Amino acid sequence: MDLIEKTIEFVKSSLASAEGGHDWWHIQRVLNNTRSIASKEQVDLEICELGALLHDIADPKFHNGDEKKGGRIAREFLTLNSVPEKQILAVLDIIDNISFSKGTDTKTNKSPELQVVQDADRLDAMGAIGIARAFNYGGYKNRIMHDPSIPPKKYANSNEYRNSDSPTLNHFHEKLLLLKDLMNTDTGKEMAEKRHAFMLDFLKHFHGEWNGEV
């Protein structure tokens, strides 16, 4: 069994009981997106694949805000599988810097591999899948779908963002609709356009139905 196959088995096992928007199927979709984007970029494909597979191995919002746990788990797994230190560091760079909640442009010298996997992950937060994931997580956190009296927020830091209990629909304005303009690669930008348009159409219908207009 090669390294990617071993990593797939490890991640499937580790995320067997994860929340539906951050489970193995999320990882698989991000992996597929990663491969699609990487095929048109000059990158180390194995680092991209490992980053995609391990990027949510311990999402901080499910681990008391611990932003280092994912990296620790990934390093232990990669070390046990005799991955060279240089490659481990490249994968950890992806895990440590992929998150939207850490800020939109805090890291200006992104590696090509980080750019690819970050785009792949952001794409899974957009379009039909992004909509489904948003409401799945909202239900998981027992949030209301929408309250017109509660406006979207601009968060000062990652902790404030993660601890928000805003209605699920606000999440579109606080994150999902911002992603199109944050894509790194030309391929990611192209893929994001259709997904962004789909979300705008969904919101138009949602508000129309909410107000009894359609």
So where are the chain's domains? 3-210
Q: Token digits for 109?
A: 């010298």
CATH number, domain 3-210: 1.10.3210.50
Please tell me the total number of residues recorded for the chain in this structure: 214
CA angle 150, 153, 154 (to 5 degrees): 170
CB contact at 8 A, 21 and 9: no
Q: How far apart are CA 55 and CA 116, in angstroms?
A: 12
Which letter does DSSP use for residue 43 in this model?
S
Q: Token digits for 61?
A: 């919002």
Q: Name the nearest CA neighbour of 63 among 121, 113, 18.
A: 18
Rounded to two decimals, what is the model's pTM? Answer: 0.91
Q: Each residue's pLDDT tens digit in the chain (214 positions)?
A: 799 999 999 999 999 988 888 899 999 999 999 999 999 999 999 999 999 999 989 676 766 666 788 889 999 999 999 999 999 999 999 999 998 765 554 556 899 999 999 999 999 999 999 999 999 999 999 999 999 999 998 876 666 676 678 999 999 999 999 999 999 999 999 999 999 999 999 999 999 999 999 8
CA of residue 135 relative to chain centroid, distance: 15
Q: Give residue for tokens 């490249």.
A: 90
CB contact at 8 A, 63 and 21: no
